[in-house]
Chain A
Amino acid sequence: MKQLTILSGKGGTGKTTITASLAVLAKKGVVADCDVDAPDLHMLLHPKIIKTQEFKGPKLAVIDESECTKCGLCREKCRFDAITEDIKIDPISCEGCGVCIIVCPVKAITFAGRISGHAYISKIKYGSMSHAMLSPGEANSGKLVTLVRQNARILAEKQYSDLIIIDGPPGIGCPVIASVTGIDAGLVVTEPTISGIHDLERALQLLKHFGVPPLVCVNMYDINRGNTDNIVSFCKENGIKVVGKIPLNQMVTEAMVNGNPIVEYAPESNVAKEIEKMWEKTLSALKQGGGG
């Protein structure tokens, strides 16, 4: 079974638009939306939820006011400034580490569990989908990503699917790391802006750090052709395959407003054609054992 993650570093370069189209082209595959704190893929793929799971995030410290002597030791030892001057827990700052519990001399503090989100297993027109929703403002999105990927693997095994397509979150931190560990290739979607290039470089470093073969796609390549050329030659110098150069086209937004993947909404458009070509190249790179 092969796993492909679409990532970008910079947000808003078109990861989800591309993932949705690849899901259509892959036909009966498994798609996983690992952007769990701002998931958008469901708006294009319209999953029918079959199973919902609760996700337990970090625990939360709770002070029993009747026992507390307000000695302040917990406040002194908490490194997250999560205990206020009047010795109350600030749930937004509490990381659930448990230090306050072990230092409290009167054992007035305990842990409470908290539901930080939900994971879903769904059917889509093009196969199955594993996705999730982190509750607004919750932590530990990396763990929820891991759960989404586990569910995706189970789905793929059940339906004898040999490919999982993963929509990654932006950035390079914990949810991204959880989205790229152990995958067969990472397709980095970038745009020809200086921020896009800067973030592409960091995303490529991240893939290298975790030994993941990279592939690159330049989205909206025609907004700055000079920068696109720079990206292409940078990739060439570093032995990285550029599998797609996708033009800017207003139809992409139109397709999104209509809630459709672009390859389905406008199959004859230049964007759809280019994504199809990119899909072929990505598949053959995956068969050859990743990118590079």
Chain B
Amino acid sequence: MIVAVASGKGGTGKTSVAVNMALSISKVQFLDCDVEEPNAHLLLRPKISRTEPVYLQVPVVDEKLCDHCGKCSNFCQFNAIFVSSEKVLIFPELCHSCGGCAIICPKKAISEEQHRVGTLNFGSAGDLELVYGELEVGEPMAVPVIREVKRQIKNGKNVILDSPPGTSCPVIETVKGSDFCILVAESTPFGLHDFKITVQVLKDMGIPFGVVVNRAGIGDKKLYEYCEKADISILLEIPYQRRIAELYSRGVPFSLEMPRWKEKFQTLFDKARKLVSK
């Protein structure tokens, strides 16, 4: 089963929920898809066994063959190629690596080379397997790195995907193909606003989901009212406790220090499994 943990608003506790759940069940493959700011490894403290670069194919132009017709530049939807009468400029950071410029070039002057956009890190913590991606600083596109992280998914594992915040393409890429999504939310105006957008995304994608209310007790009750009206199940509540915040600040998954939470996170995973098989 593949379970994504997402949120909309940042800092609601996605990584904390994903890590604590992962440590409470077995046969886990944990994939940190928040490649802009991966944090799960800070809590899981894995032994890293190897790393792999992530490349995108970007165009290179053979100036001897190029006649500056500009077809590639006209074709490129991402403004990654600029052609003047003397020069061709390529902007690899803007390239989506579709390969179209090489196809359209009438002189066959365009080939592709590898441009590094990130790194995959492979490690383990006990019997948990971890893969996390890291976007190179200064590179804008997280999606190709997320795609590579997800390519590592193994059959027969309990796969947990830690999603980036927001509601746009990196989140879509992460949750796509998941069997279930756990939305971590807080009942505050910001929390609810971003939660509603994420709910819309998941509904459009047809992915079943449920909610973990984090920092329960702060804010107002509007998240609960919304969930009741929209028939969204609340799977778990984690109260606002200074001790939990403190443990998190030190990078300690709180279920390790507060063992009764292990069971609650097991139940959370079981509930997700039941909702999937429905």
Say whether B249 contacts A97, CB under 8 Å: no
A1 at interface by CB-CB < 8 Å? no
Are the CB atoms of A171 and B250 closer together than 8 Å? no
B11 interfacial contact with A, CB 8 Å: yes
The minimal Cβ–Cβ distance linking A82 to chain B, given in whole angstroms, is: 10
Are A223 and B246 neighbours in the complex by a CB distance under 8 Å? yes
Query: When chains A and B are docked, how far (Å) is the Cα of A202 from the Cα of B193?
Result: 27
**B100 contacts A99, CB within 8 Å?**
yes
Q: Mask for B206-241, Cβ within 8 A of A = 1, else 0? A: 000000000000111000000000000000000000
Q: What residue of chain B has the Cβ atom nearest to residue A92's Cβ?
A: B172
Interface of B is mostly: loop
- Say yes or no for A71: interface residue by CB 8 A criterion: no
Number of interface residues of B (CB under 8 A): 61
CB of B92 closer than 8 Å to a CB of A: no
> In the complex, A140 Cα to B77 Cα: how many Å?
12
**In the complex, per-residue mask of A54-76: 1 if CB is within 8 Å of any chain B CB, else 0:** 00001100000000000000000
Alpha-carbon separation in the docked complex, A97 to B99 (Å):
9
Whether B249 pairs with A102 at a CB distance below 8 angstroms is no
Question: Chain B's nearest CB lies how many Å from the CB of A106?
Answer: 17
Q: B193 contacts which of A40, A102, A194, A210 (Cβ < 8 Å)?
A: A40
Binary contact track B1-43/A, C-beta < 8 Å → 1, others 0: 0000001111110010000000000000000001011010011
Q: In the docked arrangement, what's the CA distance between A227 and B245, Å?
A: 13
Query: Please, which residues of chain B bring their CB within 8 A of the CB of A13?
Result: 10-11
Is B75 an interface residue when CB atoms closer than 8 A count as contact?
Answer: yes
Closest to A193 in B: B249
Whole-angstrom distance between the Cβ of B177 and the nearest chain A Cβ:
10
| Chain A residues, CB < 8 A from B96 | 95, 97
> Do A173 and B170 form a contact, CB below 8 Å, given A97-B100, A102-B100, A195-B39?
yes
Contact pick for B9, options A40, A92, A176, A191, CB 8 Å: A40
- CB within 8 Å of B: which A131-174 residues: 134, 136-142, 169-174
Q: In the complex, what distance in Å separates the CA atom of A205 from the CA atom of B138?
A: 8
CB distance from B42 to the nearest CB of A (A): 5
Collect the chain B residues with CB atoms within 8 Å of residue A136's CB.
Answer: 167, 197-198, 200-201, 204
**Which residues of the other chain, A, contact B103 by a CB distance below 8 angstroms?**
77, 99, 102-103
Q: Write the residues of chain A forming the contact surface with B, with a CB cutoff of 8 angstroms.
A: 8-13, 16, 37-38, 40, 43, 58-59, 77, 79-80, 92-93, 95-99, 102-103, 134, 136-142, 169-178, 191-196, 198-199, 202, 205-206, 209-210, 223-224, 227, 250, 253, 256-257, 259
30 A–B contacts from the bound complex (CB under 8 Å): A10-B37, A12-B11, A38-B167, A43-B190, A43-B193, A79-B99, A95-B96, A95-B98, A96-B77, A97-B77, A99-B99, A134-B167, A136-B167, A136-B200, A136-B201, A138-B169, A139-B172, A170-B11, A170-B164, A172-B36, A173-B36, A173-B140, A174-B141, A192-B249, A193-B251, A194-B251, A195-B39, A198-B37, A198-B39, A259-B189
Please give the residue numbers on chain B whose beta carbons come within 8 Å of chain A beta carbons, in ascending order: 7-12, 15, 34, 36-37, 39, 42-43, 75, 77-78, 96-100, 103-104, 135, 137-142, 164-172, 176, 188-190, 193-194, 197-198, 200-201, 204-205, 218-220, 242, 245-246, 248-251
Complex A-B, nearest 10 residue pairs according to Cβ-Cβ distance, in ascending order: A11-B10, A12-B11, A97-B98, A174-B140, A171-B36, A224-B249, A194-B251, A195-B39, A193-B249, A170-B10
Instruction: Beyond the given A136-B204, A198-B42, A206-B138, please list 10 additional residue pairs across the A-B interface where CB-CB is below 8 A.
Output: A11-B11, A43-B190, A102-B104, A137-B201, A137-B205, A139-B169, A170-B36, A196-B249, A223-B242, A253-B219
